[in-house]
Amino acid sequence: MKFPEDEQAHKTIIEWWYLNGHLKDAKGNLYAFMNCLFKADSKRVKIPFLKKVPFKTLYFSHSVLSDIKAKKFLPKIDYISLVSKDSFSKHSLFINYINPSIITGYVNKVIEKTGRVNYHLKTEDFDLNLRSVKKPLLENGTGYVDLKSKGSYYYSLTNLETEGIIKINGRDIKVKGKSWMDHQWADTSYSIKDKWTWFSIQLENNVEIVCFEFDDGKNKMYLATISYKNNRQVSANDVVLTPLGIAWKSLVTKAEYPLSWRIEIPSQNVDLEVKPLLKKQEVLFGTINYWEGPLTVRGTINKKKVKGNGFLELVGYAKGISDLKIYRKKIDKTIAESISLIRKNGLKFVRRIIKKKSGRKR
């Protein structure tokens, strides 16, 4: 891999720029976020509902903000993102995009590199500056992962010092914390039947680990890549993932997600346990459902106690209800919310007119 060249877009079937993080405000309240921009060849990606898109290159984005104390999960799923003409035109990574909405308008979003190790992420819900304090982690040691039935280029920025603002209920909250960034691209199509159990782990001793199980229905593949404090990187395939009993069943999709795990990497003397900070963290994208959320981490490395934070992503876990029933309910809810919003905004407009005609100050 070459940097900064490989931070840019590639001519592949699928690609994404993904960030997650754990944040804290001045009062010690905890928050977590995830933001991902996808770039896909709509004709070759083999996601059924994307094939109907009338243009070849499609961008779409997913975003999540979690308020841990309030137990609030705030997802935003945009099926089409409009990327500006000057995106990917600079020497460093620069993506400027919007997710237009007829009802609420739009906010421009940015994923950009602002210095040698500095990045900027901006959405409707957060405006964060990030500084990478370690070199990029190359998954599998080379930045290329062979998943047996397919392959993917993959690197991570595992330790991003973060500060900025998040927005909850219209209120700006100053936060600090640590983030993680993945950039992955593949000239292959991922099936909606593919199953991922994926972890990013950031320990307080400045050791970070990415590990996962990938199951395409025929083959299972395990991989962990570790970034040690001194930037030494090690990859291993002897990953053992064991569910520990904490699960959550979605009321919407009836899918059941195992949320607590034991992660063992015997060759590296790693033995960790992870637990969710929130349970209700399901994301729906067309016919695809997945769970994405923050974790606490405790355990040992080389028999020394360690602790920290992480993120878990569970993709391909079976729904217990038909897609038709799910989206009938979702459409009904969306229509009801839209009508309520229109009525609310319409009422505000009428009140302005009345005030103007009566001569009262606004």
pLDDT value at residue 273: 98
Using alpha carbons only, give the angle 203, 210, 196 rounded to the nearest 5 degrees: 135
| 3-class DSSP string for the chain | CCCCHHHCCCCCCEEEEEEEEEEECCCCCEEEEEEEEEEEECCCCCCHHHCCCCCCEEEEEEEEEEECCCCEEEEEEECCCEECCCCCCCCCCEEEEECCCCCCCCCCEEEEECCCCEEEEECCCEEEEEEECCCCEEHHHCCEEECCCCEEEEEEEEEEEEEEEEEECCEEEEEEEEEEEEEEEECCCCCCCCEEEEEEEEECCCCEEEEEEEECCCCEEEEEEEECCCCCEEEECCCEEEECCCEEECCCCCCEEECCEEEEEHHHCEEEEEEECCCCCEEEECCEEEEEEEEEEEEEECCEEEEEEEEEEEECCCCCCCHHHHHHHHHHHHHHHHHHHHHHHHHHHHHHHHHHHHCCCC
Average pLDDT of the residues in 151-174: 96
Task: Please tell me the distance from the alpha carbon of residue 261 to that of residue 242, in angstroms, as a whole number.
Answer: 5
Residue 353 in this model has a pLDDT that exceeds 70 = no
Whether the Cβ atoms of residue 241 and residue 265 lie closer than 8 Å to each other? no
Task: Specify the pLDDT at position 331.
Answer: 56
- Convert 122-150 to b/e letters by CB count within 10 Å (16 or more is b): bbbbbebbbbbebebbbbbeebebebeeb
pLDDT one-digit tens code per residue, 262-276? 999 999 999 999 999
Residue among 156, 130, 154, 132 nearest 144 (CA) = 154
- Could you read off the pLDDT of 210-240 as tens digits, one per residue? 999 999 888 899 999 999 999 999 999 999 9
Determine how many CB atoms are found less than 10 A away from the CB of residue 286: 15
Q: What is the mean pLDDT of residues 239-250?
A: 97
Split at pLDDT 50, 70, 90, the class of 107 is: confident
d(CA 214, CA 195): 6
Comparing CA positions, the residue from 36, 19, 112 lying closest to residue 76 is 36
Percent of the chain with pLDDT over 70: 86
Query: Model confidence over 5-41: pLDDT tens digits?
Result: 999 999 999 999 999 999 999 999 999 999 999 999 8
pLDDT at 361 > cutoff 50: no
Report the range of poorest mean pLDDT among 93-97, 113-117, 135-139, 333-337: 333-337
pLDDT at 106: 79
Block residue for tokens 């020497």: 91
